[in-house]
Structure 1
Amino acid sequence: MEWAVLFPVIVMLLFAGPQLALWYFAREAADAAAHAGARAASTLAATDGVGQRTAEDYLAQLGTGSITSYSVNEARTATSVSVQVTAEVPNVIPLPGFDPSVDVTVERATERFTTADSP
């Protein structure tokens, strides 16, 4: 009887470690891709969409083993640019409704030249 009660708990604990590792790696990869995209999009000569393309290229180089799917969005204002990366993480824990994902947004000021007349 004790084994029947403890077995599901032990199985969940065994799956929790790899699930946490996959989620952490996906979060770090999404964060690094968002930073790379924001850095590329914040330069003075950056064109529209360069941050999105840079982040997508970064994630494509990682492969699809730890991230099943992802989406990248770039938003630009007059003084800043933000890159949002949303990624789905493979599900190791067999629970209905458990769908791990990560969502990272990085905002960075854009480069611009100012003069004494117009700061």
Structure 2
Amino acid sequence: MKSPEALAPVEQMLDILRGAGFTPEQALQSFRTLSSYAYGYALAEIVGFALEPSADGAAARFDVRTVDPERFPRMREVAPHVVACDHDTEFELGLDIILAGLAAAASESRLR
């Protein structure tokens, strides 16, 4: 069972979402969405992002720059962006998109 200390941040987030106009169910769904995004991104930083070459040059990692451009043209066209990606900026962009969607959902639920 989770300790009260571990549950306190969850309670705070649910309270913020309820204060923003979310129903209890919407608050839970929003909390899970934000948590899943943050955990997933953190895990990707630990194990390595899809389509990226390994920083240490390990042969086991896939490098999108090596795919056949005739078979995978879309993957090849994003290759320069994969290699030059700033993960902090990418995380913040994704978070902004999620938060904008949550804000739109909160506004919509207040109109009902």
Name the TM-score, length of structure 2 as normaliser: 0.34
Q: Which has the higher contact order (CA 8 A, sep 6+)?
A: 1
Between structures 1 and 2, the one with greater strand share: 1
Name the TM-score, length of structure 1 as normaliser: 0.32
Between structures 1 and 2, the one with greater helix share: 2
